[in-house]
A and B are shown apart, each in its own frame.
Chain A
Amino acid sequence: MQRLDYLKETPSQTAGPYVHIGCTPNFAGIDIYGGDLGTALKTGPVKGTEITIKGTVYDGMGMALRDAMIEIWQPDAAGLFASANETRGEADPNFTGWGRSPGDMETGEFTFETVKPGAVPFPDGRMQAPHITVWVVARGINIGLHTRLYFEDEAEANAADPILTRIEHQNRIPTLLAKPEGDGVYRFDIHLQGPQETIFFDI
């Protein structure tokens, strides 16, 4: 019999306490590269509704993490990704879709200046509600956590979303909803564990 061998994905390891040295060195006080990657999602005038997302990552004791790194990935206002794998059209040239934030040094609060994403189809063709992919790493997290940010003010689209509707514990869905705070600002707090634990994904 032949062997059915494939390579194994490299084991993940915690990003450790100093992920900022590697991924946002200028933020960490290492003056190098002339700037950190992912600091601006908008590189010029963008189409669509400009929004600000703020949030904090909390541990199981309710403590704000100040050593996390949060990344977001999203389509533009028309639902197109600025990716080499986007085949449906050309994304807004002034929008990268990718943001990276180390959070505030004192409070841990992260901020992204971005645009409200357009809808993107599910593999079976149904439309998904507008959402942003969120990825969290920090000391103590052995493998990066995937989640999604949906918008509380998209109730109709959320009610039809192929992923939100398959969640068994519907009472946990609010953990995935960014809440409007006025002036185009949304709050999206992430709870790593406890009664408000954010729904994390295995994708």
Chain B
Amino acid sequence: MSRSTPPQQGGFIPRDRDWQPDALTPAYKTSVKRSPQAALLSFPTTLSEETSPVFGQDMLGPLDNDLIHNYAQPGESAIGPRIILHGRVLDEFGRGVPGALLEFWQANAGGRYRHKKEGYLAALDPNFGGCGRTITGEDGSYELRTIMPGPYPWPNGLNDWRPAHIHFSIFGHGFAQRLITQMYFEGDPHIKLCPILGAVKSQEAVDALTALLDMKRTVPMDSRAYRFDMVLRGRRQTYFENRKEGL
């Protein structure tokens, strides 16, 4: 949250567990032994969940949101179709979330991550690190530049491929809003085949993770653009006599 933003009080509205993926999704095999089996314990949010750390613009470098250049040698750039990704971080009431920290990571244009445990034979791009970060503006908007990540095979079923995607980690204004998700690209035929995306329960929810080509924000002879909005949980603000600090 930017330091000029006034404090926000009040509890978060409950998470919709019918909309969010279940813990156990056997088609995604790793979930089988990593999913809690007991019911989650519900309780109203307290200050521990209604607060979160402050991330300021002063923590970021000028190229942190430019994956084409933030790991490249001077004068060089990452290989692949150049894209601009932009959108807003909103809460469930449609209010922009300013000062949200977004961290993102992805495979390179060939579908390979810069990680020593990565086993895919696609080439590494020496000018591509695959990570970036930014902080949303006063209206919750953000923008980054990167290259289109490639789809890649992974060991789950014998022939499973991940659709092209970008991972997002999002810090809003309370720890209850903490979220990690993945963004997909309109038109990718792997979307409906992917066991990880299959953990998402409805087509509407899959669509919420699928960015649209945005020709209005395209830069001619340079970059295409995609738009991706993210929604964090909403906070109640109403004053009640029996709960003066907000609900």
Contacts and interface: CB of A to CB of B under 8 A. Distances in A.
Physical interaction between A and B: yes
Query: How would you classify the secondary structure of chain A's contact residues: helix, strand, loop or mixed?
Result: loop
Interface in A18-64: 18-23, 25, 28-30, 32-34, 37, 59-61, 63
B33 A123 contact: no
A87 interface: yes
A10 B210 CA distance: 11
Contacts, number: 276
A19 B167 contact: yes
B181 A142 contact: no
A203 B176 contact: yes
B219 interface: no
Q: Pick the most buried of B8, B40, B61, B174: most chain A CB atoms within 10 A of its CB.
A: B40
B8 A85 contact: yes
Contact of A32 (B3, B131, B182): B131
A143 B21 contact: yes
Nearest to A124: B243
B178 A123 contact: no
A13 B21 contact: yes
B36 A192 contact: yes
B231 A10 contact: yes
B43 A141 contact: no
Interface residues on A, range: 35 or more
Interface in B11-63: 11-12, 14-17, 19-23, 25, 28, 30-38, 40-55, 59, 61
Given A13-B209, A85-B174, A7 B93 contact: yes
Interface on chain B toward A: helix, strand, loop, or mixed SS? loop
Given A10-B232, A22-B169, A85-B7, A142 B199 contact: yes
A16 B169 CA distance: 12
Interface in B115-131: 115-118, 129-131
Q: How large is the interface on B (under 10, 10 to 19, 20 to 34, 35 or more residues)?
A: 35 or more
Interface in B82-111: 90-94, 99, 103-105
Contact of A33 (B36, B64, B167, B230): B64
Contacts of A148: 48
Contact of A7 (B49, B92, B117): B92
B180 A144 contact: yes
Interface string B163-187: 0000101100111101111100000
Contact of B33 (A59, A96, A120, A202): A59
A140 B34 contact: yes
B46 to A, nearest CB: 6
Contacts of A192: 33-36
Interface in A146-197: 146, 148, 162-163, 166-167, 169, 172, 192-194, 197
B41 A12 contact: no
A9 B16 contact: yes
B70 interface: yes
Contact of A120 (B20, B46, B94, B115): B46
A31 to B, nearest CB: 8
A144 B179 contact: yes
A50 B76 CA distance: 46
B180 A81 contact: no
A70 interface: no
Interface of A: 6-23, 25, 28-30, 32-34, 37, 59-61, 63, 65, 71, 73-75, 81-87, 96-98, 120-123, 128, 131, 133, 135, 137-146, 148, 162-163, 166-167, 169, 172, 192-194, 197-203
